[in-house]
Structure 1
Amino acid sequence: MASAQVLVVDDEPDIRGTVKEILEDEGYSVIVAENAAAAREARRQQRPDVILLDIWMPDLDGISLLREWSERGGLPCPVIMMSGHGTIETAIEATRLGAYDFIEKPISLAKLLLTIERALEAQRLKRENEDLRQQVSVPLEPVGSSKAMQALRAQLDRLAQHDTWVLIQGEPGTGKEALARYLHEKSARHDGPFVTVAPGAISREHAAQALFGAEDTNGVQYGLIEQANGGVLFLEEVADLDPELQLRLSSVLERRSLLRTGGREAVPLNLRVIAASAQDLEALAKAGKFREELYYQLKVVPISVPPLRERPEDIPELLRFFADFFPNRDKLPYRHFPVGVQNRLRNYPWPGNIRELRNLVQRLLILGQAGDVELIEVEQALGNAVAPKTPREIDSGIDMNLPLREAREQFERAYLLRQLQEAGGSVGKLAKVVGMERTHLYRKLRDLGVDVRTSGKEE
């Protein structure tokens, strides 16, 4: 990973020079600015990892500059304030505006280095927490002892020793993002960011700005590509990019630099690109539906992920993993999958691959009682997965011998599944139909084990 970049903003040349020399000796990349105007320009040219900002400067004080950054799109990174004669009120105001910490002058070398180190660590942990909230519930390390999975793990381990770009291809639900994260964690860039770009989730009118960033007289917005600097840019289902964005992305990857929307100067990039697709990109490129140059840029090393039906010997291991995972994460009851049930699931074709298996296990843990999973439960669950019930079937599917709370949960799940199917998988439409606030509805669907991705597309 590239060394962290520190922007030092101070109007005193001696302090700028001393701090720059000290930090460079510690392995940091340092940019200096003598006033607010120079700081704005330095921040525009490249996104820093930490900013050291003096409070008292002649043109514009540090608190005002901090407020400006905070109100125009938020702080790009941790900001550490510096002052030789600060007050408690000043420190409180800086903290309110988002400053990470406050250092008094004359600066203590030990405290300066420790504060920067803690700020970078806090930023890393914040990024990891955000990543974890976005991840689906799949294991980071590929699960399975089949020859196919052993070969896949060995290939990923080899690639982790290099910084080459990778194209992961496989059917929907095979866990391509989890493999990309595994590759990232094993690589030398593991301390850097892992930024996911999901083209299908970005509106067309805002796609260029979201990807490449923007700048104008009001400030700078760092796009997803620039946010991945020093780490990994993961392009999820890259075939969903429209032709114009494919062309612009190809140019960015070729030059290893990007020009923000409205920008004047190119920003250098140092990142690894991992792309994924469930579609045949080569066929799309030959048909003129995907830019051929971008295809070859991404396909430095191709990886093919086998579908679950081609490695049925891994199913018992996956069942054990998720049967442990959900009780630990969601406090669900542990349930055992007997050999007979395992054999039935080994012979199921799994059109939804690992995602479908994960959802099945979660559903069986939520709806069943503690103990062994019975074959009839599995058959009913598989039938629900492939053949949506009619309203009459839903009504008759509730076990009237259950306690009221559990029977109500069965009804709520069946009702929401039916309404979600009627809404074409749109959670936005579902929220209007059932009269629930969208955030509460997401929580209810998650608690009931309903995965909207297997019921259609979200809005």
Structure 2
Amino acid sequence: MVDDEPDIRATVKEILEDEGYSVSVAESAAAAREARRQQRPDVVLLDIWMPGVDGISLLREWGERGGLPGPVIMMSGHGTIETAVEATRLGAWDFVEKPISLAKLLLTIERALEAGRLRRENEGLKSRLPAPAEPIGSSVAMQSLRAQLDKLATHDTGVLIQGEAGTGKEMLARWLHERSARRSGPFVTVAPGSITSEHVAKALFGTEDGGSVEYGLIEQAKGGTLFLDEVAELDQELQQRLSSVLDRRAVLRCGGSEAIATDVRVIAATAQDLEALVREGRFREELYYQLKVVPLAVPPLRERAEDIPELLRYHADFFAARDKLPYRNFPVAAQNRLRHYAWPGNLRELRNLVQRLLILGSSPDVALDEVENALGSLGPTVPAPEAPRAERGDFGVDFSLPLREAREQFERAYLLHQLAAAGGSVGKLAKAVGMERTHLYRKLKDLGVDAKATARDEAS
């Protein structure tokens, strides 16, 4: 609450705290700037007429310097229609007249909080596949996974979800969040591989420059859950800074001089072997153990083939309802073929396949030849017998090298071979080797493989 009148500040603060709110007060624009720097408020009550910088000018300043800190409710004892219109144009959420009606103030704050929550949900959940009531599958592996999730949902501890690309790690993190005590708070996803390296720190920790403050994703997750998708993509410096945040429960913004307390549950996920990366010095040991308070292993789809029929029915129902597609049944022959498919893309590939078959098909039942055509050349149904050495190729790995360097030699040769087979297409390469495209681009860059040059060579 920002107001230059001490009696009003004290009275409103006392009333709101009696209602269960945590309230910070500021007597001027300067004090309000400092309060905003120290924490990200859910709602701001801002008086218009104050000595020095008035509320409208402060509202405009916030809008120009990193955005408004939250829904802003303007207050005034002698406002005009023009003033209210100007405040609304600058982003104010509502307008309350003095003397303040307690009933109206409480209702306005309640609605502002709800509006802020809905905005965060809309920003975070657009175009996402909603999490089912619980992870799907009756296999022993899924029964064990559900039992672990049920236990973790009642705790506030950090979780490290490990599993291959496409196994639904973010869906599990959302499921945990929705059943935790933090479910009314935001669920914020951080995907380092999708953010340019020079912007990751600012996006994650926020920035501070004089009076300008931009809240990072960690602060935006206040009171909720921060999901770190493929945490292995963080570089060493960011790993160290994140470790400090988890240790101190406070975040230091880029350009800031004082750490800001934070309240967030961290759920991390990776498709890589973090323990091996720690041994190789590519992932900080302290961060590894901070994230791995409780490890959760997600089985790949090929290891729970008995769940395929249930997954096919669920996704056929989902796409029929969401996209208004005609529902199609998967007969036993189609189910059996898909049960014996290797699923290199896991759940993500299955969802894509079901959606494609519903779009392209016209009959009530999915025919076996449709399944074969949809699968195409994505991968073998069962592991192929080992090829003779001459067919496998001589990769020229120097066995005198340390393990890490020898592995990089092999990986580079392997990816060059697969990239050539894919005609220089990174998209086809990602499917062939079963890797996320963003992770694959990073791997190719680390190994010095120029995909564009390979594509030109193939074309010529």
Same fold (TM > 0.5): yes
**Residues 209-220 of structure 1: matches in 2 within 5 Å?**
209-220=202-213
Partner of 1:92: 85
Query: Which deviates the most, 329-338 or 127-136?
Result: 127-136
1:261 aligns with 2:271: no
Supply the AA of the counterpart residue of 2:90: L
**Residues 36-435 of structure 1: matches in 2 within 5 Å?**
36-133=29-126, 135-136=128-129, 139=132, 141-386=134-379, 424-425=426-427
Q: What's the CA shift for 1:310? A: 0.9
Distance across 1 between alignment mates of 2:438 and 2:187: 28
Query: Which deviates the most, 171-180 or 277-286?
Result: 277-286
Q: RMSD of the TM alignment (CA)?
A: 2.0
Supply the AA of the counterpart residue of 1:61: D
> Any runs of at least 4 consecutive aligned residues in structure 1 with deviations exceeding 6 A, and if so which?
452-459
Q: What's the CA shift for 1:370? A: 3.7
1:384-440 Cα deviation digits (max 9, x unpaired)? 5349xxxxxxxxxxxxxxxxxxxxxxxxxxxxxxxx9866349xxxxxxxxxxxxxx
Distance across 2 between alignment mates of 1:455 and 1:263: 31
Specify the SS of the correspondent of 1:234: strand
> Is contact 2:74-2:96 (8 Å) kept?
yes
> Is contact 2:182-2:224 (8 Å) kept?
yes
Q: What's the CA shift for 1:103? A: 0.5
Distance across 2 between alignment mates of 1:326 and 1:385: 22
1:179-221 Cα deviation digits (max 9, x unpaired)? 0000000000001011111010111111211111111124101
Supply the AA of the counterpart residue of 2:4: D
> Is contact 1:333-1:370 (8 Å) kept?
no
Distance across 1 between alignment mates of 2:441 and 2:325: 26
Partner of 2:451: none
Q: What's the CA shift for 1:382? A: 0.8
Taking structure 1 as reference, are residues 57 and 292 closer, same or farther at Cα in structure 2, changes over 3 Å only? same
**Any stretches of 5+ residues in structure 1 without a counterpart?**
1-7, 388-419, 427-451
Distance across 2 between alignment mates of 1:154 and 1:98: 46
State percent identity of aligned pairs: 74
Q: What's the CA shift for 1:157? A: 1.4
TM norm structure 2: 0.83
Supply the AA of the counterpart residue of 1:37: A
> Is contact 2:73-2:95 (8 Å) kept?
yes
Number of aligned residue pairs: 395
Specify the SS of the correspondent of 1:385: coil
Supply the AA of the counterpart residue of 1:320: R
Distance across 2 between alignment mates of 1:316 and 1:343: 9
Query: Which deviates the most, 145-154 or 224-233?
Result: 145-154
Supply the AA of the counterpart residue of 1:349: A
1:90-149 Cα deviation digits (max 9, x unpaired)? 111111111111001111111111111111111111111122116346646311111211
> Is contact 2:76-2:97 (8 Å) kept?
yes
Taking structure 1 as reference, are residues 69 and 423 closer, same or farther at Cα in structure 2, changes over 3 Å only? farther
> Is contact 1:239-1:279 (8 Å) kept?
yes
Taking structure 1 as reference, are residues 367 and 134 closer, same or farther at Cα in structure 2, changes over 3 Å only? closer
**Any stretches of 5+ residues in structure 2 without a counterpart?**
381-421, 429-434, 443-460
Distance across 1 between alignment mates of 2:124 and 2:226: 13
Taking structure 1 as reference, are residues 150 and 233 closer, same or farther at Cα in structure 2, changes over 3 Å only? same
